[in-house]
Amino acid sequence: MTNSNVTTVTLKVNRFTPRPERERDRARGGSPFARTRKSSPFGGKSDAPARRRPRGRQWVQEYTIPARPEDTVLDCLLAIKRTVDPTLAFRYSCGHGMCGSDAVAINGTPNLLCTATLKDWVKPESGMPVLDDDGFRRTGDDAADADGAKGSALPESGSLGVIELGPLPGFPVERDLIADIDPMLDQIRKLKPYLEADGVLATTHEGKVDVFEYLQHPDELAKYEQLSNCIACGVCEGSCPVFAGGDAFIGPAALIWASRFVNDSRDTITMDRLDAIDTEDGVAACQSVRACTRQCPRGIDVGEEMWQIVAKVRER
Amino acid sequence: MEQWGDMSPKQLEDMYDAVIVGAGAAGLSAALGLLRSPETRQMRGNGIDPKILVISKLQPLRSHTGSAEGGIAASLGNIEADDWHWHYYDTVKGGDWLVDQDAAQLLAEYAPETVINLERGGVAFSRTDDGHIAQRRFGGHTREFGGAPVRRAAYAADRIGHQILHALWQQCVAAGVAFAEEWYVTDLVLTDDGSRAAGVVAFDTHAGKVHAVKARNVLFATGGAGRLFHTTSNSWDLTGDGMALALAAGLQLEDAEFVQFHPTGLAHTGILLSEAARAEGGVLRNADGEAFMERYAPGHADLAARDVVSRSIMAEIDAGRGVADPKDPDGRRDCVWLDMTGIDPDHMRAVLPQVVETIEKYADIDPSKDFVPIKPTAHYTMGGIPITVDGEVYRWNAGDAETDGTDGATGSRGVVDGLFAAGECSCVSVHGANRLGGNSLLDACLFGTRAGRALAARVAAQPVDDPMAVDDPDVQEIDDAIAAAADAASDARENELKDLLTPRADAADDVDDVDGTTAADETDDNPYRLMADLGQVMERAAAVRCDAAGLEAALRTIDERLAPRAEALVAHDKTAAFNQEVTAIWEVRHLIGLARVVLAASDARHESRGSLKRNDFPERDDERFLAHSMTDASGRVAWQPVHIVDIPPKKREY
């Protein structure tokens, strides 16, 4: 291999190592991650960001490694683990967008490591960090430059550019790119995320059971099939400006799951499900920003589904 | 709850009725089989709640079951006439007669019930126009004992695994199953005499702490071991943990030499490109552009059976007619081309959306214009922890029989009390030497449920919370033995963890002496690099085909180079919480132990059958090897006769 056609990428990774447990327990006191509070996202929560700020060592680490434009960000991180730094922590499993483990912030935007390719995400080298200390993305000129770089020819050698990585926004960081997404799973679990059918089987006109599965016409399936493809990765939640850690707003993911059962012809507790989300921290907290739609790896139009479920709640 | 979150137990019980390790289709099915059993209902009626914990190294929704695409086989007959006897026959034939026919009968007979229960659990199956579960054709599934293809695979678009995994998890949420998520099990603990399960040792990756989890019953459902090989369709987590832990506990693996390679993995990513790509007109070509399959399988060509196609591709590569992965143009020429340019581009997008998306996304190739590099990819381990049809793990006691395969007629199964297994990590032997498509999810759900019911019977016979048993000295004695064994194993593991988190200055030097490779490579070794090196060694020696010389060389490389490196590994950071490198060190050690057994079992079988192709023993030999290999950690192989019920062996032809 000659060096002339080797390209590189620079990954700037927001890293975090938690304090050793004993120290941390004392610091945590009365469980800063408690999820039982019921309050509006807008009232009396000015202390929220400070409360969630993780305790431990935080720094930004730069890795420059050989890479090709068509490599995924996950490919690069695995290469870093193998060849440069085995201590870098990030979740990953199937590597092709089905397991939902590897949602992080890529250049500030929630996305999956294994479906993001370098050519879609590299930005030109620049001195300015994408995320500031509070995790906000810088907008304006820098972002415009980045958009301009898309589609332009990438170099055949030298640096492809820079990608900045951080943990999934909206959730507490646990280590490096690993975030605590239990709040999302707790919220999904709160809304009875399982089929409640009537148990009645189809019968012949003599009253004999003739089919043991519940019958469902393809048109009925189409009403919820795509919703059932949600992989609970958390990308929509990390994109939602209201969600912010799941302290209040139940979040787009849990609502998608609720909607999946509301739209399933086999389910019998539609009214209960609609009641359960008709709360100030339920559908009422959604501000229709629709940021949740943009990066869904399963192609679900989350924002539109939010709109539909709100309509169903109102119409009942 | 506040302290730990809902996804980890707030506090471990002193003793569990049952601990289930793994939360894919098999583990979750077992949990539901246990909780929905009449025994559990009766226990609860008497005010006794079974103490169950499901431990998983992943959040359950991340399990690899979710990646299964095609379908789950069952003779529902929703589209055309079908009969479970036909399914039974196809399964035996597909497995090249290394299938235990009593188990395969159960698989085929109860498949429709299993699929219907999944539907009633919420799976969004694709439907026929009259609302029934839709079914499609799948390789090797036929009508009337080897006749025309039959539509037997129930499907949910191309996402059946995702649907099943999510529905099972949802039902577990409904049933209130307790999970310990992102806990990595480091030990299977048996009582000192090895006769009984005593629990597991688990590493809570969040807190970075080792726990002794004491249990009267343990079920392993930890999945396969595709990560033995460099190119695999398996997720990064399929490191054969359950199989390796069983070996470490002194148990055997059955038929470990049988690993199915799917012919069309997308070059070095290993990601599957469905068989449908060839069904729609895709053609395999070698470096000379020749459509070589017609030469190997006249009449069937590119649509021959999976193992046949994989072997043909490998033969082309071995003959120097392979091509390099364009992503690694200077690398080995270990791929061939999949030519889809003859398929109408619009039609291709309509009928192969997932295939096209994968090729575009991960190879950056337009398949309507350019050839796609493909390579056989490690897909499924047919072998595993030996179990009865009720999921009980057993030792094969070869008795007086010779262990060279010439005489395996005597011997007996000795069940380990309270130890169960299910799914890909186990071997009830329904897949024999080669698994049929659609039978893996079925195996996991059906035998997972059966194992759960068998667990329930044991739990109900002697529940931990039984108020009547408090002073029973026999029960107390057993519990004491369980606790002693689990605590001892946990203490040992805790000490090891301390060592792993303490960087050793001399570690690199030690390794350097043993290893012959460059110092720069070895002075800063890590488990990720070692796993990649192991994958290359295994791929060269045992992927798709093998011979004695290659197997022996690989074993030597492992013993002399890789195993010492594995022993010398330490973590590069001392913080225990979320220290993935610690888990990876244990994983690569597991893989190395398992690799030895796969190589030893392959070496012992002097024949070619199903997925195992010995270049030095090209024919099937029923006289000597109509038997399951039973291999222990030392590589010693015993032979257990195959259960033949009513389908005598004959030549496997399609």
Given a cut of 80, whether residue B512 has pLDDT beyond it is no
pLDDT for A125 equals 80
Is A130 part of any domain?
A: yes
Q: Are A140 and A199 part of one and the same domain?
A: no
0.80 surpassed by pTM: yes
- Whether the predicted pLDDT of B88 surpasses 80: yes
Tally of CA atoms within 13 A in the half-sphere of B648 that contains its CB: 1
Give me the residue label for tokens 């529905």.
Answer: B167
Q: Per-residue pLDDT averaged across B457-462, rounded?
A: 96
- Non-local (6+) Cβ contacts of A188 within 8 A are A232, A253, A254, A257
Question: How confident is the model over A179-192, as a mean pLDDT?
Answer: 95
How far, in Å, CA of B192 to CA of B482, rounded? 9
Average pLDDT of every residue of chain B: 92
Rounded Cα–Cα distance for residues B228 and B247 (Å): 16
CATH number of the domain residue A94 falls in: 3.10.20.30
Give chain A's end-to-end CA distance (angstroms, integer): 67
Strand-strand pairing, B209-214 and B197-204:
antiparallel
**CATH number assigned to the domain comprising residue A234:** 1.10.1060.10
- Write the single-letter amino acid at A235: V
Q: Is the pLDDT of residue A214 over 90?
A: yes
CB contact under 8 A, A93 and B119: no
Instruction: Evaluate whether residue A261 is within a structural domain.
Output: yes
Tell me which residue of B630, B101, B200 sits closest to B394, measured CA to CA. Answer: B630
Residue range A286-301: average pLDDT? 93
A28 within a domain of the structure (yes/no): no
Provide the token pair at A251.
């979040």
Which residues in chain B are closer than 8 Å to A175, comparing Cβ atoms? 575, 577-578
- Rounded Cα–Cα distance for residues A45 and A52 (Å): 12
- Please give the Cα distance from B585 to B590 (Å, whole number): 9
Closest to A17 (Cα-Cα) out of A61, A49, A51, A48:
A61
pLDDT at A261: 98
Provide the pLDDT for residue B557. Answer: 98
Among B164, B184, B222, B236, pick the best mutation site for testing chain A contact (most A Cβ within 10 A).
B236
Number of C-beta neighbours around residue B495 at 10 A: 11
Pair A100, A199 in one domain:
no
Per-residue pLDDT, B653? 80
Instruction: Tell me the pLDDT tens digit for each residue of B334-378.
Output: 999 999 999 999 988 887 887 898 899 888 899 999 999 999 999
Beta carbons within 10 angstroms of residue B648's beta carbon: 8
Residue B83 clears pLDDT 80, i.e. is over it: yes
pLDDT > 90: what percent of chain A?
A: 68
Could you say which of A153, A175, A197 is where a domain stops?
A: A175
Interface of B with A in 247-276 (CB under 8 A): 269, 271
Interval A268-274 mean pLDDT: 97
- DSSP assignment of A227-249: GGG-----HHHHH-TTTGGGTSS
Asked if residue A222 is part of any domain, the answer here is yes
Enter the DSSP assignment of B558.
I
Domain count, chain A: 2
Answer yes or no: is A109 within a domain.
yes
Which residues lie below 8 Å from residue B322, measured CB to CB, with a gap of 6+? B286, B287, B316, B332, B333, B334, B335, B336
- Residue of B35, B116, B162, B525 for testing the chain A interface, max A β-carbons within 10 Å: B162
What is the three-class DSSP state of B400? coil
Structure tokens that stand for B163 in this block: 């649907």
CA distance B48 to B531: 46
| The pLDDT of residue B470 | 72
d(CA B367, CA B376): 18
pLDDT tens-place string over residues B523-545: 589 999 999 999 999 999 999 99
CA–CA dist B334, B332 (Å, integer): 5
Q: In what order do the strands lie in the sheet with B197-204?
A: B183-190, B197-204, B209-214
A104-128: average pLDDT? 91
Are both A219 and A272 inside the same structural domain? yes
Q: How far is B495 from chain A (nearest CA, A)?
A: 18
Does residue A194 sit within a domain?
yes
Detail the DSSP E strand segments found in B216-370.
Answer: 218-220, 253-254, 259-266, 271-272, 283-285, 336-339
SS3 content of chain B, % helix, strand, coil (to 5): 40, 20, 40
Residue B440 pLDDT level (bands cut at 50, 70, 90):
very high
Band (B47; pLDDT cuts 50, 70, 90): very high
What is the b/e burial string over B402-412, where b = at least 16 CB atoms within 10 angstroms of the residue's CB?
Answer: eeebebbeebe
Interchain proximity A218–B166, CB inside 8 Å: no
A232 touches chain B (CB under 8 A): yes
Q: Are B186 and B202 in contact (CB under 8 A)?
A: yes
Over residues A39-65, the mean pLDDT reads: 65
- Tell which of A175, A191, A225 closes a domain: A175
Average pLDDT over residues A130-145: 56
Q: pLDDT category, B504, cuts 50, 70, 90?
A: low
Whole-number pLDDT of residue B1: 35
Integer Cα distance of A43 and B66 in angstroms: 40
Asked if A101 lies within 8 A of B62 by C-beta distance, the reply is yes
β-bridge mates for residue B57, sequence order: none
Q: What are phi and psi of B117, to 5 degrees?
A: -65, -35
Tell me the CB-side half-sphere exposure of residue A76, using CA atoms within 13 A. Answer: 32
Indicate whether B654 pLDDT > 70: yes
- Residue type at B370 in one-letter notation: D
Domain boundary pick from A133, A156, A175: A175
Contact B116/A at CB under 8 A: yes
Give tens-digit pLDDT for B553-582. 999 999 999 999 999 999 999 999 999 999
Mean pLDDT across B240-267:
97
* A218 and A289 share one domain: yes
Distance linking the first and last C-alpha atoms of chain B? 57
pLDDT at B35 over 50: yes
Size of interface A-B (CB pairs under 8 A): 167
Please name the member of B6, B330, B527 whose beta carbon is closest to the beta carbon of A1.
B330
Q: Given CB atoms, is A102 within the 8 Å cutoff of chain B?
A: no
Does residue A60 share a domain with residue A139?
A: yes
Q: List the structure tokens of B99.
A: 């299938």
Do residues A231 and A288 share a domain? yes
**CB-CB under 8 Å, A98 with B162:** yes
Residue B507 is inside which H or E element, if any? Answer: helix B507-514
Which chain A residues touch B573 with a CB distance below 8 Å?
17, 87
Which structural domains are found in chain B, ordered by start?
14-258+382-470+621-649 (3.50.50.60), 263-376 (3.90.700.10), 512-620 (1.20.58.100)
A26 assigned to some structural domain: no
Put residue B57 in one of left, alpha, beta given phi > 0 → left and psi -120 to 50 → alpha. alpha
Within 8 A of A229 by CB-CB distance, chain B residues are 159, 162
Q: Which two tokens stand for residue A205?
A: 């006109």
Lowest mean pLDDT among A176-180, A265-269, B353-357, B604-608: B353-357
Among chain A residues, CA nearest to B327: A68
Contact B170 A189 (CB under 8 A): no
**C-alpha to C-alpha distance for A134 and A54, rounded to whole angstroms:** 12
Would the ipTM clear 0.90, i.e. be above it? Answer: yes
Could you tell me if A169 and A200 lie in one domain? Answer: no
pLDDT digits (tens, 9 = 90+) for A216-268: 999 999 999 999 999 999 999 999 999 976 678 999 999 999 999 999 999 99
The residues of B annotated with a catalytic role in the active site are: 306
Subunit contact B127:A232, Cβ cutoff 8 A:
no
Reported as a pLDDT band with limits 50, 70 and 90, residue B100 is very high
Q: In this structure, are A98 and A81 located in the same domain? A: yes
Mapped onto helix, strand or coil, the DSSP state of residue B306 is: helix
- A49 is a domain residue: no
Whether A40 has a pLDDT exceeding 50, the answer reads: no
Residues of B in contact with A213 (CB under 8 A): 115-116, 119-120, 125, 132-133
Assess whether A256 and A124 both reside in one domain.
Answer: no
Residues A108 and A190 in one domain: no
- C-beta separation of A192 from A276 below 8 A: yes
To the nearest whole angstrom, how far is the Cα of A58 from the nearest Cα of chain B? Answer: 14
Quote the pLDDT of residue A149: 44
Element (H, E) at B545: strand B545-546
- Same domain for A151 and A193, yes or no, is no
| Six token digits for residue B267 | 């070059």
Burial of B379-388, coded b for 16+ CB within 10 Å and e otherwise, reads: bbbbbbbbbb
B404 touches chain A (CB under 8 A): no
CB-based contact A96 B358, cutoff 8 Å: yes
Chain B contact for A211 (CB, 8 A cutoff): yes
Q: Are A194 and B170 in contact (CB under 8 A)?
A: yes
DSSP state string for chain A:
--GGG-EEEEEEEEEEEEPPHHHHHHHH-S-TT-------SSSS-TTHHHHH---EEEEEEEEEEE--TT-BHHHHHHHHHHHT-TT-----SSSSSSS---EEEETTEEEETTT-BHHHH-B---SS-SB-TTSPBP-SHHHHHHHHHTTSPPPSSEEEEEEEEEEPTTS-EEETTEE--HHHHHHHHHT--S-----PPPB-TTS-B---SPP--HHHHHTTTTGGG-----HHHHH-TTTGGGTSS--HHHHHHHHHHHT-TT---HHHHHHHH-STTTGGG-----HHHHT-TT---HHHHHHHHHHHHHH-
* The predicted structure's pLDDT at residue B614: 97
Residues 159-178 of B with CB under 8 A from A: 159, 162-163, 166-167, 170-171, 173-174
Considering the domain architecture, whether residues A301 and A284 belong to the same structural domain is answered as: yes
**B431 three-class SS:** coil
Residue B528: predicted pLDDT: 98
The per-residue pLDDT for B477 is: 94
Residue B584 has pLDDT above 90, yes or no: yes
Ramachandran quadrant class, B444 (left: phi over 0; alpha: psi -120 to 50; beta: rest): alpha
B335: enclosing H helix or E strand: none
Nearest CA in chain A to B578: A175
pLDDT tens profile B380-434: 999 999 999 999 999 999 876 555 454 556 799 999 999 999 999 999 999 999 9
The residue type at A119 = K
- The beta-strand segments (E) located in B205-359 are 209-214, 218-220, 253-254, 259-266, 271-272, 283-285, 336-339
Q: Does A3 touch chain B (CB under 8 A)?
A: no
Substitution target from A76, A194, A269 for chain B, most B beta carbons within 10 A? A194
Minimal-distance CA residue of chain B relative to A72: B362
Dihedral pair phi/psi, residue B386, rounded to 5°: -65, 130
Q: Is pLDDT of A128 > 80?
A: no
**Domain of A286?**
181-315
Query: Residue A305: what residue type?
Result: E
H/E stretch holding B129 reads: none
Q: Does A289 contact chain B (CB < 8 Å)?
A: no
pLDDT for residue A173 is more than 70: yes
Residue of A nearest to B331 (CA): A1
Please name the residue of chain B whose CA is at the shortest distance from the CA of residue A73.
Answer: B362
